[in-house]
Amino acid sequence: MRTKHPLLALLVLILGTSTIGATYLVIKNDMQYTSTSSPTPTVSVSPTNATMYSDIGKTFTVNITITNANDLYVWQAGMTFNATLLGVLSFKEGPFLEQENTTLWTNGTIDNIAGIIHYHACALAGNVTGVNGNGTLGTMIFKVKNYGNSTLQLTDVILLNSELTEIDKTLVHGSVKIKIPGDVNADGIVDVLDVSGISAHWYPGPPVGPLGYDQNFDINGDGSVDIVDLAKVSAYWTGPPKGPLAP
């Protein structure tokens, strides 16, 4: 049975057997910590709403970030995702807590069948104050398995201050849209409609397209909508005839 604060039992085991933490750990499981002088910290998926053109098998990075942290001593977080579209290769500790002191990092588990990253956790070691400010808590590497949309929903998020009382927080979940390179109108096929879309948003020209620059039509992400993007449409053309890179 999952407890209200699954991280705390783990910290008892780790810090309770540590010479730097054994005399410091005090658990106040039911207390809520709220700062009256600081804004509520926000834990976010970053980028929050991403759209990308990608080949199957390519990887991309997603971070869990925090803003307005105040005396952050411990954090834990997990995530759910669409396992038919994405796989997770790794979840690594970010640099936010370790800028203050040595940290204790605990790997959770990653279930690429169910689409669940079970909580990973990080704690400062020893009798030190927590960290303030903004930064990256953790970094995940995702692998593209198919095209489509996936939510990236934070789960099991707990923040504790240096007294090991819980900090109120705001969560910002994320999403990612994986598109076939060349499918600029996102209809699942690459055809003449995508060619006309690129023409309409041609930039910087000359001539500039009547609708001007739109990053959704910038397939290679170089700040221009031009012949390189048009070549992508040709390569991924779903046909007939199919382009050489068509899925």
pLDDT recorded at residue 18 = 39
Q: Is the pTM of this model over 0.85?
A: no
Angstrom distance (rounded) from CA 240 to CA 229: 20
Model pLDDT, residue 243: 87
pLDDT at 11: 55
| Confidence (pLDDT) at 205 | 81
As averages over each run of 10 residues, the pLDDT of the chain (247 residues) reads 46 42 35 59 96 92 97 97 98 94 93 96 93 97 96 97 95 96 90 94 90 91 92 90 87
Structure confidence at residue 22 (pLDDT): 32
Asked if the 6-179 domain carries CATH number 2.60.40.680, the reply is yes
- Residue 38 token pair: 């600081």
Give the pLDDT score at 129. 93
